């Protein structure tokens, strides 16, 4: 029997057959990808070449404009070389927009006197002439696809004859940040309309953060404004009715004298203020004027403002119960107490048990010891009940009598709890920085009134680094009961800060105590006892390390602060109006 050969179809033929190899789909994909890479590379190279050519053309135009301005200034006589509003003055604009080859350029020109180190600088100058020559600076800027570009030409021009002193003094502006490090490229505006010709200069600080003008005309009222994108501003101030003694005031330049001035700017920051009504005590009460607050009852009757067993004298039921509706305070913070006004003649009794929101499950012994047996006392401590597990409670009253002629009764009962904090809209508050711009009286650089608005929060942008104090005026009807973090707060450069203000209805006199460790950490859970004439109250500091005492009388109090692991601290406190104090506890 002959065996048949089995052949498998492939995309190849044996070389012996002399036939060519076939093309697979994989070959096609790889070939297409290689061609795509090649064409993309060619396109990228072409685009880059176009950009290089374009940028070189634009740069050539910028060089031409800079050379044009430089050569024009050099063609003038030495006394004529200057800029409009500059030191020295001339007829060339400081800044102009020039359209050249359909490209918009900004050309800035500055001319200033320079001191040649060859004959000594400043007071060490051998001939006492510090205006040795004029420096010309021409800066050209333009926008490209890669962003702003620019170039600068710097030249100097010396007098044809022997150098001579120029009238006026030296004006030096130094620009630093909050750490006293120099700020380069800060915009410095110098204005003085009281001289002829008027001075109106816009220049920029060098790498050392300074700007110096030799030959500034002798005059007062040199107005200085220092700024930079993303930074705060600093300036001099005029004398006014609101600020009779400004500091710094406008500068004065005297002949042959140097007038130095230093200005501090730094990155601006963001501050958000949120406003809340502070935690307050609330209550829920049933006076049994009707049955609206009773969820269910058995063998009990509500009549005449009391709840009692059903029946009449000689026929009262032996047992009965009634359960309240669910007590579910909004923004519940802490359960505190339950109290009842009861009457229990002989052979009668009342027990209270507490249930969850549905009124079915008893609050466990772990959170309310004694609840299983029931409470015969008229006041029950509920502070151990978790508000997250049990945001709502019901109370069931069990009435009993072994004598049908008498019945126990309840005339009222109440739940007492804390609720809050709750967001408070449209609260007006003051915000004042620590930096001043005037003395006698003190004038603050930042002193503004803001409102938290309908959203209960306001975000302030472009705020200068400073130490700020937030206040709430009693005219708002509120007073500051807590600030998280405590006031004042330091806002660092280039930072974001959120402060939460908690207020309560205003009272004439109050005390806000913040407690810190000796390392500055706010201490939660410290006990603050305030003792005065007819007053002795103890409160515990919050998570923000503060305790508030409101509705006080004016006068002297003793504050005693204790916390485990720290030394006890006592101090005398005089309360008059809203009185804040800060306490530091030392570790044991």
**Which fold is adopted by the domain 507-588?**
Immunoglobulin-like (2.60.40)
pLDDT at 29: 80
Give the pLDDT band of residue 44 (cuts 50, 70, 90).
low
What number of residues does the chain have?
588
Q: ∠ CA(99), CA(104), CA(106), 5° rounding?
A: 100
Strand 496-505 and strand 269-277: the pairing is: parallel
Please check whether residue 123 is in contact with residue 34, taking contact to mean a CB–CB distance below 8 angstroms: no
Q: Which of the two residues, 468 and 51, has the higher pLDDT score?
A: 468
Is the pLDDT assigned to residue 134 strictly greater than 80? yes
For residue 546 the two structure tokens come to 């503060």
Please check whether residue 70 is in contact with residue 109, taking contact to mean a CB–CB distance below 8 angstroms: no
Residues of the chain with CATH 2.60.120: 280-420
Residues of the chain with CATH 2.60.40.10: 507-588
Rounded-to-integer distance, Cα 291 and Cα 304, Å: 11
Is the pLDDT assigned to residue 13 strictly greater than 90? no
Give the pLDDT band of residue 128 (cuts 50, 70, 90).
low
Is the pLDDT assigned to residue 14 strictly greater than 80? no
Answer CATH for 280-420 from 2.60.40, 2.40.50, 2.60.120, 3.10.110: 2.60.120
Closest listed residue to residue 87, CA positions, set 192, 186, 174, 225: 192
In 29-168, where do the E strands start and end?
95-100, 103-114, 133-144, 147-157
Q: ∠ CA(244), CA(248), CA(254), 5° rounding?
A: 100
Q: What is the CA radius of gyration of the chain?
A: 42
DSSP-derived secondary structure letter, 237: B
Question: What is the pLDDT averaged over residues 25-54?
Answer: 72
Q: ∠ CA(192), CA(150), CA(225), 5° rounding?
A: 25
178-190, pLDDT tens digit by residue?
999 999 999 999 9
Question: What is the pLDDT averaged over residues 573-579?
Answer: 92
The SS3 assignment for 204 reads: strand
**Torsion angle of the four alpha carbons 377, 378, 384, 385, in this order, in degrees rounded to the nearest 10:** 110
Q: 483 pairs with which residues across the strands?
A: 501
The SS3 assignment for 65 reads: helix
Question: Helix, strand, coil proportions of the chain in percent (round to 5)?
Answer: 10, 50, 40
Question: What is the pLDDT averaged over residues 195-217?
Answer: 95
CATH superfamily of 75-267: Carboxypeptidase-like, regulatory domain (2.60.40.1120)
Sign of the alpha-carbon dihedral angle for 125, 126, 130, 133 = negative
Give the pLDDT band of residue 273 (cuts 50, 70, 90).
very high
Q: 341 pairs with which residues across the strands?
A: 412
Rounded-to-integer distance, Cα 236 and Cα 220, Å: 12
Question: What is the per-residue DSSP string for 138-201?
Answer: EEEEEEETTEEEEEEEEEEE--SSS----SSEEEEEEEE-TTS-B-TT-EEEEEETTSSSPEEE
Is the pLDDT assigned to residue 17 strictly greater than 70? no
pLDDT at 1: 41
pLDDT at 75: 92
Closest listed residue to residue 466, CA positions, set 268, 273, 275: 268
Is the pLDDT assigned to residue 6 strictly greater than 50? no
Is the pLDDT assigned to residue 371 strictly greater than 50? yes
Q: Which H helix or E strand runs over 530?
A: strand 527-532
- 3-state helix/strand/coil string of 449-492: EEECCCCCEEEEEEECCEEEEEECCHHHCEEEEEEECCCCEEEC
pTM of the entire predicted model: 0.81
DSSP-derived secondary structure letter, 20: P
The mean pLDDT of the chain is 91
Residues of the chain with CATH 2.60.40.1120: 75-267
For residue 33 the two structure tokens come to 């990808």
Place of tokens 């009993």: 400
225-252, pLDDT tens digit by residue?
999 999 999 999 999 999 999 999 999 9
Please check whether residue 96 is in contact with residue 113, taking contact to mean a CB–CB distance below 8 angstroms: no
Question: What is the pLDDT averaged over residues 478-491?
Answer: 94
418-432, pLDDT tens digit by residue?
999 999 999 999 999
Rounded to the nearest 5°, which phi and psi values hold at 59? Answer: -65, -35
Question: What is the pLDDT averaged over residues 278-298?
Answer: 96
Is the pLDDT assigned to residue 457 strictly greater than 50? yes
Is the pLDDT assigned to residue 3 strictly greater than 50? no
Question: What is the pLDDT averaged over residues 202-218?
Answer: 95
**Is the backbone peptide bond immediately before 197 cis, with ω within 30 degrees of 0?**
yes
Rounded-to-integer distance, Cα 275 and Cα 489, Å: 16
Is the pLDDT assigned to residue 491 strictly greater than 90? yes
507-555, pLDDT tens digit by residue?
999 999 999 999 999 999 999 999 999 999 999 999 999 999 999 999 9
What is the share, in percent, of the chain residues with pLDDT greater than 70?
A: 92
Rounded-to-integer distance, Cα 306 and Cα 290, Å: 9
Give the pLDDT band of residue 281 (cuts 50, 70, 90).
very high
Is the pLDDT assigned to residue 285 strictly greater than 60? yes
Q: 38 pairs with which residues across the strands?
A: none
Is the pLDDT assigned to residue 130 strictly greater than 90? no
308-329, pLDDT tens digit by residue?
999 999 999 999 999 999 999 9
For residue 117 the two structure tokens come to 């180190």
For residue 420 the two structure tokens come to 């809050």
Is the pLDDT assigned to residue 154 strictly greater than 80? yes
Is the pLDDT assigned to residue 15 strictly greater than 90? no
């Amino acid at each position: 029997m002959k065996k048949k050969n089995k052949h498998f179809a492939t995309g190849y033929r044996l070389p012996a057959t002399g036939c060519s190899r076939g093309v697979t789909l994989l070959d096609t994909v790889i070939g297409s990808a290689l061609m795509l890479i090649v064409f993309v590379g060619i396109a990228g190279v072409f685009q880059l070449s176009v950009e290089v050519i374009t940028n070189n053309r634009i740069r050539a135009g910028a060089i031409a404009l800079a050379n044009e301005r430089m050569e024009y200034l050099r063609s003038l006589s030495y006394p004529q070389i200057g800029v409009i509003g500059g030191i020295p003055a001339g007829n060339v604009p400081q800044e102009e927009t020039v359209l050249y080859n359909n490209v918009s350029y900004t050309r800035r020109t500055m001319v200033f006197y320079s001191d040649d180190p060859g004959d000594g600088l400043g007071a060490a100058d051998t001939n006492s002439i510090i205006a040795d020559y004029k420096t010309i600076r021409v800066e050209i800027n333009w926008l490209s696809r890669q962003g702003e570009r620019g170039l600068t030409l710097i030249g100097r021009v010396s007098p044809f004859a022997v150098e001579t002193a120029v009238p006026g003094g030296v004006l030096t502006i130094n620009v630093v940040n909050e750490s006293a490090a120099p700020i380069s490229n800060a915009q410095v505006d110098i204005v003085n309309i009281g001289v002829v010709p008027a001075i109106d200069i816009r220049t920029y600080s060098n790498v050392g953060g300074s700007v110096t003008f030799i030959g500034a005309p002798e005059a007062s009222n040199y107005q200085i404004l220092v700024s930079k994108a993303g930074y705060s501003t600093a300036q001099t101030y005029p004398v006014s009715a609101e600020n009779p003694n400004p500091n710094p005031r406008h500068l004065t330049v005297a002949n042959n004298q140097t007038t130095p001035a230093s200005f501090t700017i730094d990155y601006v920051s963001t501050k958000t203020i949120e406003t809340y009504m502070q935690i307050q005590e609330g209550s829920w009460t049933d006076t049994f004027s009707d049955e609206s607050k009773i969820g269910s009852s058995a063998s009990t009757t509500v009549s005449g403002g009391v709840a009692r067993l059903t029946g009449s004298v000689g026929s009262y039921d032996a047992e009965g119960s009634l359960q309240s509706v669910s007590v579910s305070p909004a923004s519940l913070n802490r359960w505190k107490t339950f109290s009842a006004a009861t009457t229990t003649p002989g052979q009668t009794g009342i027990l209270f048990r507490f249930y969850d929101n549905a009124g079915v499950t008893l609050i466990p012994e772990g959170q309310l010891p004694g609840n299983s047996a029931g409470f015969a006392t008229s006041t029950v401590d509920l502070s151990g009940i978790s508000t997250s597990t049990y945001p709502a409670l019901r109370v069931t009253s069990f009435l009993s009598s072994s004598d049908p002629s008498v019945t126990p009764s309840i005339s009222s009962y109440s739940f007492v709890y804390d609720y809050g904090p709750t967001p408070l809209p449209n609260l007006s508050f003051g915000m004042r920085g620590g930096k001043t711009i005037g003395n006698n009286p003190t004038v603050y650089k930042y002193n503004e009134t803001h409102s938290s608005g309908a959203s209960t929060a306001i975000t302030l942008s472009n705020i200068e680094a400073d130490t700020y104090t937030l206040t709430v005026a009693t005219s708002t009807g509120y007073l500051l009961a807590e600030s998280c973090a405590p006031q004042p707060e330091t806002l660092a450069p280039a930072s974001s800060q959120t402060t939460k203000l908690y207020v309560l209805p205003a009272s004439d006199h109050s005390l806000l105590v913040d407690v810190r460790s000796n390392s500055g950490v706010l201490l939660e859970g410290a006990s603050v006892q305030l003792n005065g004439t007819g007053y002795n109250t103890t409160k515990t500091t919050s998570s923000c390390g503060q305790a508030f005492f409101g509705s006080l009388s004016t006068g002297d109090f003793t504050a005693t602060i204790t916390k485990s692991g720290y030394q006890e601290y006592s101090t005398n406190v005089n309360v008059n109006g809203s009185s804040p104090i800060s306490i530091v506890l030392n570790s044991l």
